[in-house]
Each structure stands twice: as C-alpha cells, then as structure tokens.
Structure 1
Amino acid sequence: MIFGIAGIIISLVLLITLAYRGVPVILAAPVASAVCLIFSGAPLLASYTEIFMPAMAGFVGSFFPVFLVGAVFGVLMTVSGYAESIARTVTGWVGSRSAIAATVITSALMTYGGISLFVVAFVMYPLARELFRVADIPRRLIPGTIALGIFTFTMTALPGTPQVQNIIPGQFFETGAYAAPGIGLLGGALILGLGLLWLEYRRSALIRKGEHFESIESAPVIGGSADDGSSHQLATLVPANKVVPFLPLLTVFAVNFSCTLLIFPRLDWSYLAEEQFGEITMEARSGLWAVLLAILAGIAVLVLLNMKDIRSLRVGFTDGVKRSMLPIFSTASEVGYGAVVASVAAFAVVRDSVFNMGAGALWTSIMTTSITAGLTGSSSGGMTIALNALGEDLRQMATADGTSLEAMHRLTAMAAGGLDTLPHSGAVVTLLIVCGLTHRQAYKDLGMVTLAIPVVVVLGLAGLVSAVGAF
C-alpha cells in the first residue's frame, strides 16, 4: 500500500514537471498514469484500454460539443471584427486612462458571452498592449489584467456563465448553470473588486519606481501574431453601429437564461427515464443543453448579420474546429489519468482519509477540487477528476448533512478556479507566451489575481455558507 501511495504522489509530480516543461498533456497524462500503475502493481495494458481510454472518451462525449461551438463562436467573433469593436467600444465608455479596467471588462464580457478562454486571450493581447502603451502602464501587468477577466469570476463565479467550468458540477449535483446566484454574484464582485485594487496598486507602485511600458524586454512570442486572428480580419464586416457586435453575446445570455429558468422547467422530460436515454434526469443535463443551444444561437445571429460575406466566415468555422481539438483532448487526457489513479487500491485509502476528516460535504468538495485542479494545472480537468472519484459520495454526504447542492455547485466551481493557475498551468504558460513575457516578469501579479484572491474569497464564502446557509 505504501508503494501505491508513493506511486500516486510520484505520478502527480511527474505530470506537473512534464506539463511545466512544455510536454503536451495528451502525452504527459498517459506517462504519469503508467508510473502510478507500475507502483501499484496493476496491469498496464488492461488499465490503459479499459480505464484510461473510456474515461477520456466519456469526457469528450459529454463536453466536446461545448468546446467545439465555443471555439467556433470565438473565432467568428474575431474574424468578423466584432471582438475588436466591442473592445474599442468598452474602452470608449471607460476611458483610455482606465486601461486596466477597460481590459478586464472587455475580457469578462467576451468570456461571459461564451467565447473560449484561449480565444479571448489571443484577441485581447494586441488590444491591451495598445491601451497600456498609450496609458504608459508597465507591460508586466498585461497578463494579470487579461487573466482577471477570463480565468476568474466570469469562468466560475457568475451565475449562468457558459464556460465548461460552470457546467461540470451540474452533471454530478443535478444543478443548473444559475445555481446559488447570491453566492456567485457576491464572490464575483469580491474577486473583481480585489483584483482591480491589486492591479491599480501595482501600477502605482511600479510607476513610482520608474517603470514604464517599455521598461522590460519582451520574451520571444511563439506564434503570437499568427494566432491572434488578425490575419483573418474581415474589415468589410466591421459594423458602423457599435451596438451590433454585442448582439451575439446578448443572444448567448438570453437563450441560456431562458432555457435554464423558463423553458426547460416547463417541458415534459419524462422520456429521459427510458433506458435508451440512460435513465437520466433533466436537472443532470439542463446546464449543458442550455449552454449548447445558447452558443449555437449566438453563432446563428452572427452569421445572419453577415450573410453577404458568408464565404469569408467559412475561415472562422474551419479555424474554430481546429482550435477546439487540443483543449478538449488535453483536458480529457487529464480525466483519463484521474480515472487511473482512482482505480488503484491506494486511492481508496486516500479517499477514506479525506472523508474521515469530518469536514462535511461542502468543505470536502472544495478541498479535493482545489488540490486536483492545482496538481493538474487545469480547472476543468481537476474538477472532473475529483467529482468522478467522489461526486456520488459528496451528493450523499450533502443530503445527509443538509448542505445545499446549489451552494456546493457554485463553490466547487469557484474552488476549481484557484490553484489551477499555479506556474505549471497550461493556461498560464500560454497566456505568458501570447503576451511575450516570462514567469519572472509577470507571474507575481497573475498569481495574485487568479490564485491568491479567488482562494481567499472561496474560503470566506464557504465559511459564510457554513454559518448562515446558502443565499
């Protein structure tokens, strides 16, 4: 048993090391799985084909449509010029002197509007760079500013966000995308407010030290200009009316809200209890279906607004399909690794130790999700690993101790968006590469707004919910 536990730890360290050194997770996860299996004495080939691959395929089967339409929608918003138009409009509202707030708000609008996180990063960097240059704000703050808008409150906290991190808990707790709106809104406001305060404090501190926009040298950008979508910009599609680019985002919000709270609850879903549909409930799938329909509706509106240039938009569909592949399979590979770890005998000892701590369903869910997200460097992958292994037990525990499943949904999702941005995180590495900066130059501020602040907020909210209940 000692060797088995050692194998789990060593495999996790190996996964982190390989990811940090740039090895694709699609390859790193099977290698780490093999190490875990060797130490536990489990059969390698059988575990790979009968445990790793079914878990990986299951995640792809459940969430590939969301990754696909999200990527397509994001690229279409880019090549149509709508994303840039939104950024410039928001900047006009906020003012170029408030470059940090303008960047955060624009990034948040795109993320909450259903655009893939990585697509938003590529879109926002050239715009943020120009804003920061004009305002003479140190460049090292750009990654943290973009990250605050896309990797934190709009990804996990705000009720109704169409990002996959808000959908995953619903598959296990049978809750919707708008679960615990009070907790989500308060948590989102705290993360946003504290994050902006930190970035403004750092801007003032760095300027007092004499640092300016061009004070530090850039690291080499790997594929930055080629991937930001500017090469496909369709200038003829940029509308003169500044309201038009917001219509696809508003459509995503309206359809998601309507399906989740108004339409789905009024429909007859009794047929889902039949064996051919897996004997599921509407609550277990409503969040996924609502987001899928919402993003499809957003794509439809965008295409209808640009029917005259439909041939040009084909570029966006093709690029979107390509860009959906690596994120979905990378996350699914991590899920396969989690299934392998959960299958070894030593994991049962670890699991039982966690449940015997007596922390309750809410705190247990938060702790396990935070730890797995941190170890894998992925919010969605870590949360799926934790809930695949413990989700059913957590539901039963929550029912027994009277914990609100909606509160557990919201705080579990928020917990996944904390330690997931440790330095080895693929999202962190990608964002720094896009911005042409190194960990040494920019991670301090990025880590503060995406890791330290969200973790503190989640702990505070969990304590509040434990004291007064869900709200």
Structure 2
Amino acid sequence: MGLLGILVGLGLLIWLAFRGWSVLLLAPLSALVASAFGREPLLANWTQTFMGSAAQFLAQFFPIFLLGAVFGKLMDDSGAVTAVATFITRRLGERRVILAVVLSGALVTYGGVSLFVAFFVIVPMAQSLFRAAGIPRRLVPATVILGTSTFTMSALPGTPSIQNAIPMPFFGTTPFAAPGLGMIASLIMLGIGLWWLLRAEKAARQANEGYGEELSIATSAAADDERLRGRATTAREFDPAEISHGHRSEAEVPIVNAVLPLVVVVVVNLVMSLVVLPRLDVSFLAEQRWGSTSLSAVAGVWSVVVALAGATATVVICNWTRLPALRQTMDAGANASVLPALTVASLVGFGAVIASLPAFDMVRDWALDIKGGPLVSLAVSTNLLAALTGSASGGLTIALDALGQTYMDVATREGIDPGLLHRVAVIGSGTLDILPHNGAVVSLLAICGLTHRQSYLDIVMVGIVSSVVALAAVIAMGSALGSF
C-alpha cells in the first residue's frame, strides 16, 4: 500500500498541476494522500517533514531567488537586456539571425538575468528579425530555448542559475564544478541545436515557407494569464506577473553599461569561488549558532549571492538615470521571487514526505540498482523527477534530498569526484524537464502565439535531444577520465 500511495500522490500532483491547479495547494495535499496510504501520521508529516524540508530549502536558496529576480528586473527596466540583444544582432547581421538570437539569450541568462525576463525581451526582437529574414516564426521558440534554457542553465561552468546552485550544499561543490566537462557539454548542446535550427531554416527556404501568418498576442496578456503563471513559477525563478510592473526606460543604453553587470556576475562568482572563500577562516561555522555547518556546504551559495549583489549594484550605478522608478522596479523584482521560491519549496516538501515513507526504500534500491553505475543512476533519477514535476529545480532538489547523501557515500567509496556528480545531476535535471507540460515551454509558446503542434518538435531537438547527448558524453568521459 505504501508504494501505491507514492504513485497515487505523484499522479495526483502531476494531473492537477497540468490542469492548472496551484502547486502550493497540490504539494501538501498529494503528500498527505501518500502518507494516508502508508498509514503514516498526517499532521506530523505536514508540519514537521513537509514544512521542515520546505523551510530548509528557502533558508538555503531564497537569497538566490531574491537577488536573481531583482537583478533581472533592473536589467529589463533599464533597457540593458534589450541593448545587449540589439548589439549582438547588429554585429551578426540578418544572415545569421538564428545565431544572433541564440547568443543574445545565452549572454543575458549566463549573466544572471532571469529566464522570463529574457523571454519577454528576446521574443519580440526574434519575431522581428525572423520576419525580416523570411524565417518561419514556428522556429522562434526553439531558438529562444536553445539560448536561454539549455547550456547556460545546466552546463556552462559558473552559471548563476538556481539549478546549478542546488547541488552545491549536497556535494560541497562550487558553481564551477567539473568545468572542462561543462564546457564540452555546452558545445555539444549548442552544436546540435544550431545544426537542427539551421537545417530547418534551409529546408523552409527551399520550400518557400516564409515567416507565416502571425497572431496578434500581447506579451502582457501571456504574463497575466493565471494558469500560465502557475506553470511558469513552477518551472523557473521569476513570476511573469511582475514583468509589467515598475517602469521600463525608453532611453538607449550604451553597450558597456549593459554588459558590465553581466561581466560582474561571472567574474565575482569566479573570484569568490576559487580565491576569496577558500582563504577565509570560517571555523566559526561549526558552532551551533551558525547551524553547525562547514564552508563546503555554504560556499557555493555565498559565491552566487555576492556575485548577484555586486551585479545589482553595478546595474543601478551604471544606469541610474535610466531607472526613474527604482523603488518600484526593485519591489517588482523582489515580489517576482516569492511565488517561484515557495512553489519549488512546496515540491521539495512533497519529495521529503515521499522519501520519509518506508515504501520509498524500494524506490531508492531500484534507483541504485540501475545498470551503468552511480552516474547513470543519478542521471536517470534527476531526469525522471524533473520530467514528472515539469521543473528542473524541483525535480533536482527532490532527487538530492532523497538520494544525495547516498550518492556521496557511493562516490567516496568508489573515488568519484563530487564535481562530476554535480555536473551530471544538473545536466540531468535540464533534459526531460522540457516536456509539453513544462511551464517555461507553455509560457514561451503563449508569448510567441504558437502551439505545441507547430513548434514542439523543434524544441525537443534543441532542448531535449541535445541535452541527452551532452549528458551521455559527460557520463562517458567522466567515467573514463574522471572530473576535469
């Protein structure tokens, strides 16, 4: 009955979430259903296990949600995101439109701008460029996904994405874990994605397909859709309802002012991770008042937090005159972080309840018995949970909460570098999360005025296939050569 309860609880969560119900309600309800089947105490599971795990997730990662959303909103309202995208497209020209859109999305998201901020800026620009170049508009979503939701989310070393931050407390790693493997994975994703998109563009030109008829759908309408909002906040770290709040500058931003905050994110993150924090005396962290923790458990989060804080200050200083409503912009960014953080924390709480049930031992044993070793097992676990929840961050945290220590024990016993576990887990979470019910996919298609039937195959090729190939390559090279 316990295993049946786990399946029923998970099925209830997926089914009702897909129908538009809020995960804030569904996660505790589904956890209680699973507990009831297992004849476990309901109230104790809710207030102690569920809320305890959700609160711990917020305590660890809410600063990243908060600063990431504020930074993204400041970059948007100052016009910096638009300036970066415009600069790249002008330099590459109309003959390389797809590459220009991909690189624009990659640069701003690797620089710390929230995914949905990038969506609402880059999609209109991409549509204009595709129309002028005669490229089918059905390719816009896949092009944006490739630049914003693949290698810069999970593979590129040092990316400040929440997905790259989640494994750090579990494995004692930094945002730059397994940098060589991360770079190779990034090149594989980018190469396969561009190959597919350019191939599709060539075929469309030969068939004289053209841009196609465009539906007039305002991006603000997509942002205000409550059903889309619920799915979006499960998938990523920015509440799209806050996009229209604040005041967006109409003044042109010098490219140096636009790029400098992005550079600060990368450089400060690197310096904090590899130079500053390792030299600090933080023995006091072992005291009970600081949580009886260690530097390895907090260093990764500290690096990202300092990098985002420095970048936030930089964008304000560099674009002070282009932020006439600074308080409203920062308020909107702060508000945009709350619902995504609580939603993912609820998924984490659900996972903690499931992992605490006696029947979960069967699931754990099944995961560890997967042929191919711990790296394959870890990849399958994160893939499966990200696919079921439609959330890379939620699925990754559930998997590591339940199995992270087990994988660390296996890695220690078999001499596997924790950095390799980190990179496999993050890339694994970013593959099958891009299924049709994923909030980012649904929201992006709504913003573009397209349907799954028109664009989803291309999204699969650039978002799932490229990531699966990169994941397989990382596992193969990591197993043969170790982490590098």
> Into which bin does the TM-score normalised by the smaller protein fall?
over 0.9
Q: Residues 79-228 of structure 1: matches in 2 within 5 Å?
A: 79-215=77-213, 217=215, 223-224=221-222
> What are structure 2's unaligned runs of at least 5 residues?
225-239
Match of 1:328 in 2: 341
Match of 1:232 in 2: 247
Structure 1 position 309, deviation (Å): 5.3
> Partner letter of residue 163 of structure 1?
S
> What are structure 1's unaligned runs of at least 5 residues?
none
RMSD: 1.9
* Identity %, equivalent residues: 43
2:274 aligned with 1:274: no
CA distance in 1, matches of 2:123, 2:222: 9
CA distance in 1, matches of 2:450, 2:36: 39
CA distance in 2, matches of 1:162, 1:229: 24
Question: Secondary structure of the residue that 1:201 maps to in structure 2?
Answer: helix
2:17 aligned with 1:19: yes
Match of 2:228 in 1: none
Question: Secondary structure of the residue that 2:416 maps to in structure 1?
Answer: coil
Structure 1 position 367, deviation (Å): 1.5
> Partner letter of residue 234 of structure 1?
S
C-alpha distance after superposition, 1:280-304 (max 9, x if no partner):
2212211111111111111111111
C-alpha distance after superposition, 1:430-457 (max 9, x if no partner):
2222222221121111122111220122
Change in Cα spacing, 1:37 to 1:209, as seen in structure 2 (3 Å) is farther
> Partner letter of residue 28 of structure 1?
L
CA distance in 2, matches of 1:307, 1:422: 40
C-alpha distance after superposition, 1:215-262 (max 9, x if no partner):
4657786724776559832123x33x3222101111111111111111
Structure 1 position 187, deviation (Å): 0.3
Structure 1 position 88, deviation (Å): 0.4
2:278 aligned with 1:265: yes
Cα pair 2:217 2:447 within 8 Å, conserved: no
Cα pair 1:122 1:229 within 8 Å, conserved: no
Cα pair 2:427 2:467 within 8 Å, conserved: yes
CA distance in 1, matches of 2:339, 2:137: 29
CA distance in 2, matches of 1:277, 1:466: 37
Question: Secondary structure of the residue that 1:185 maps to in structure 2?
Answer: helix
Match of 1:295 in 2: 308
Structure 1 position 315, deviation (Å): 2.4
> Partner letter of residue 261 of structure 1?
L
Cα pair 1:218 1:437 within 8 Å, conserved: no
Larger deviation, residues 182-191 vs 197-206: 197-206
CA distance in 2, matches of 1:274, 1:57: 21
CA distance in 1, matches of 2:322, 2:135: 38
CA distance in 1, matches of 2:341, 2:439: 13
Larger deviation, residues 161-170 vs 215-224: 215-224
Change in Cα spacing, 1:345 to 1:446, as seen in structure 2 (3 Å) is same
Match of 1:5 in 2: 3
> Partner letter of residue 147 of structure 1?
I
CA distance in 1, matches of 2:363, 2:320: 56
C-alpha distance after superposition, 1:300-341 (max 9, x if no partner):
111112334554222210110121122111111111111111
Larger deviation, residues 164-173 vs 357-366: 357-366
> Partner letter of residue 372 of structure 1?
L
2:48 aligned with 1:35: no
2:382 aligned with 1:384: no
Structure 1 position 96, deviation (Å): 2.4
2:242 aligned with 1:244: no
CA distance in 2, matches of 1:420, 1:451: 8
> Partner letter of residue 233 of structure 1?
R
> Partner letter of residue 314 of structure 2?
V
Match of 2:234 in 1: none
